[in-house]
A = this chain, B = another copy of it.
Amino acid sequence: MPSPRDHEVRDRVKEQESFDGQVVNCAEYADGHRVGDVSLPDVSEILGAERPSRFVWIGLLEPGEELLRQVQGEFRLHDLAIEDAHRAHQRPKLEEYGDAIFVVLRTAQRSEDGRIAFGETHLFVGPGYVVSVRHGASRPYVEVRQRCESAPHLLRKGPGFVLYAIMDFVVDNFFPIVDDLEEELEKLEEEIFSGNYRRETTENIYDLKRDLLALKRAVSPLMEICNRLTRFDSQLIDAESRPYFRDVYDHVIRINETVDNLRELLNGALEANLSLISVAQNEVTKRLASWAAILAVPTMVAGIYGMNFEFMPELKWAGGYPMAMGLMLGACATLYWRFKKSGWL
C-alpha cells in the first residue's frame, strides 16, 4: 500500500521540478516551529487535517499560470483572486473571500540609475496557510521567514502573524527610499538657491515629483488596508495581534506624511525656482540696459565729432580730441557710478 503513494510522490516531485525557481519555499509550521518542507500537492491533505496549531507557508516568485492553477486547487482560492495574482499590475488592496483574505502590496526598490522600481506581492491568507506571490522589484522574503522562525512565541499566532511580518517588512523597506528622496530634494534646494538656473533642475524637479506620485500611489492604499486589519473581526487575526497591525499602520502613516511633506516642499521649491528665475531675468535686463547705455553714450559723442560740417570749431582746437575723449570717459564713469549705486550693475 505504500507503493502507490510512493509513485504519486515521485510524480509530484517531477511536477514540482518544472516549477523550479517559482516555488521559493514551502514549509509546514507547528506551534511556531518549522516542521519541515512539504511538496505542493500534499498541502490539501495537511489543510484537511485541520490541526489549528499547524499552518503551511509557501513563497512563490513570479509563478506561471500552471503553478497558480495548482495552488488554487490546493487552497481552493477564488477565481478572481488568482486572475489578479497572475496579471499583476493591481493596486494595493485587501479582499475577503469567505474566511480567507487576499492582500495586494506594492513593493519598491531603488534601481541603480536612481529611479524607483516597483514590484507587487500578493498574499493569500486563510486558516492554516499563507501563500506569498512576489512579482518585480522586491527584496526576497527569506529574511522575513528567518526572523519569524527565530521568534516561535510570535509565529505561534499563526498565518495572521506571518501576514504582519511580511507587511512590516514591505513597509519598512519604503523608509530608505523616502530618505533618498529627501536627500534628493535637499540637493535640488541647494541647486535652486545657488543661483544657477539650469534646465536639468527643472527636469529633476519633475522626475522627483513623478517618483513621489508613484510612491504615494503605492503607500496610501496601505493605510486603509492596515486600518481594516486592526479592526478585523476574524479568527485569522486575534485581538492580541492587532497592536502589531496598528504599528504597521503607524509606519504607513509616517511614510505617507513624509511623502506629502516632500511634495509640498517640492512645490515650494518649484515656486522658488520660478521666482528666482524671474529675479535673475530682471537682473540680467538691468545689466544689459546699463551696459547698453554706457556704450551708447561715447558712440553718440564720437558720431557727433565725426560729422563733416565745415564750421565745427572744436575740430580745429588742439585740445579737441582729448576733450572729446574726456567727455566720453566722464559720461561713462558717471553712468557706471550711478548704475552701481542703484544696484543695476
**Chain A residues within 8 Å of B, Cβ to Cβ:** 78, 80, 90-91, 93, 95, 97, 189, 193, 195, 197-199, 202-203, 205-206, 209-210, 213, 217, 243-244, 246-247, 250, 253-254, 257, 261, 264-265, 268-282, 284-289, 291-293, 295-300, 302-312, 314-318, 320-321, 324-325, 328
Contact = CB atoms under 8 A, between A and B. Distances in A.
Contact of A305 (B95, B244, B270, B308): B308
A261 B212 CA distance: 11
Given A305-B308, A305-B309, 12 more contacts: A198-B279, A206-B272, A273-B275, A278-B281, A296-B299, A298-B303, A298-B304, A306-B307, A306-B308, A307-B321, A308-B312, A309-B324
29 contacts: A80-B243, A193-B199, A193-B206, A202-B275, A206-B268, A209-B265, A213-B264, A217-B261, A273-B275, A274-B275, A277-B278, A284-B285, A284-B289, A285-B285, A288-B292, A292-B296, A296-B299, A298-B303, A299-B299, A299-B300, A302-B303, A303-B306, A304-B325, A308-B308, A308-B312, A309-B320, A309-B321, A310-B320, A311-B320
Nearest to A205: B272
Given A288-B285, A303-B303, A279 B316 contact: no
Contacts of A325: 304
Contacts of A274: 274-275, 278
Given A80-B247, A217-B257, A293-B291, A307 B305 contact: yes
A279 B199 contact: yes
A42 to B, nearest CB: 29
Contact of A307 (B217, B247, B324): B324
Q: How many copies does the complex hold?
A: 5
A278 B278 contact: yes
A264 B195 CA distance: 26
Contact of A270 (B246, B271, B303, B316): B271
A286 B198 CA distance: 13
A136 B303 CA distance: 70
For the complex of A and B, the 4 pairs showing the least CB-CB separation, nearest first, are: A302-B303, A288-B289, A305-B307, A309-B321
A266 to B, nearest CB: 9
B286 A289 contact: no
Contact of A277 (B193, B217, B282, B303): B282
Contact of A309 (B203, B265, B281, B315): B315
A97 B305 contact: no
B307 A316 contact: no
A310 B319 CA distance: 10
Nearest to A80: B247
A330 to B, nearest CB: 15
A299 B295 CA distance: 9
Given A298-B303, A324-B307, A270 B277 contact: no
Contact of A276 (B91, B202, B244): B202
A320 B202 CA distance: 51
